[in-house]
A = this chain, B = another copy of it.
């Protein structure tokens, strides 16, 4: 380029990001667990936090794969997007890229349970009451935590209603995570469907950082700053 020929160093915002060139996998959105051909169980996740993380990682020069449940959001430019519907599909996609990723960020609100039996057509209504038998879904992040190699980072979210930080610390340990972002359950300022979030970050050394109320786009940047510091400390 002209710039290089005349010896000018152009500013490059990604020049010192340890994420540059690394493969970052982000899961986002809710999952839908079918009861029958028309009905499903889902949750209020909008996917905003995951999409913000994918975009911010891309901005830092990472190769980003975004595995998302059904959401109404545009794919950030340059991000590879894999659409899935339910937890088992998300698990299958994630599993295929566990080995290649440097950072796995589980921002999706994966359903813990799915109906035991899925009916092909439409279940007819019959009785005044009905029992729905549910079975546990795979824990995508815990499995990554269990198989990850040195140099791979596992990052999770914990949406908690009470004893938030204590429960988040427990998840961090049990799932062998490097960082967990604890979300207090408050529909107005934090968590699902809103544009802002209040996160407390807890890292593998149990260091706690309480972030103030901020937009999810900004929270995504702060989370990636933290991930970069963890990556640097491993060098």
Contacts and interface: CB of A to CB of B under 8 A. Distances in A.
Contacts of A40: 41-44
Contact of A37 (B125, B132, B161): B161
A194 to B, nearest CB: 13
A106 to B, nearest CB: 15
Contacts of A132: 131-134
Interface of A: 35, 37-45, 72, 109, 111-113, 116, 121-122, 125, 127-136, 159-162, 185, 187, 191-192
Contacts of A160: 122
A125 B109 contact: no
Copies of this chain in its oligomeric complex: 2
Given A40-B42, A41-B41, 13 more contacts: A37-B187, A38-B109, A38-B192, A39-B41, A121-B161, A129-B135, A129-B136, A130-B133, A130-B135, A131-B133, A131-B134, A132-B132, A132-B134
A160 B113 CA distance: 27
A129 B117 CA distance: 12
A37 to B, nearest CB: 6
Contacts of A45: 38
A161 B122 contact: yes
23 contacts: A35-B41, A37-B187, A38-B43, A38-B185, A38-B191, A39-B42, A39-B111, A40-B41, A40-B43, A41-B42, A72-B72, A112-B125, A116-B129, A121-B162, A121-B185, A122-B159, A122-B160, A127-B136, A129-B135, A130-B134, A131-B131, A132-B132, A132-B133
Nearest to A39: B43
Nearest to A192: B38
Contacts of A113: 125, 130
A132 B129 CA distance: 10
A125 B162 CA distance: 14
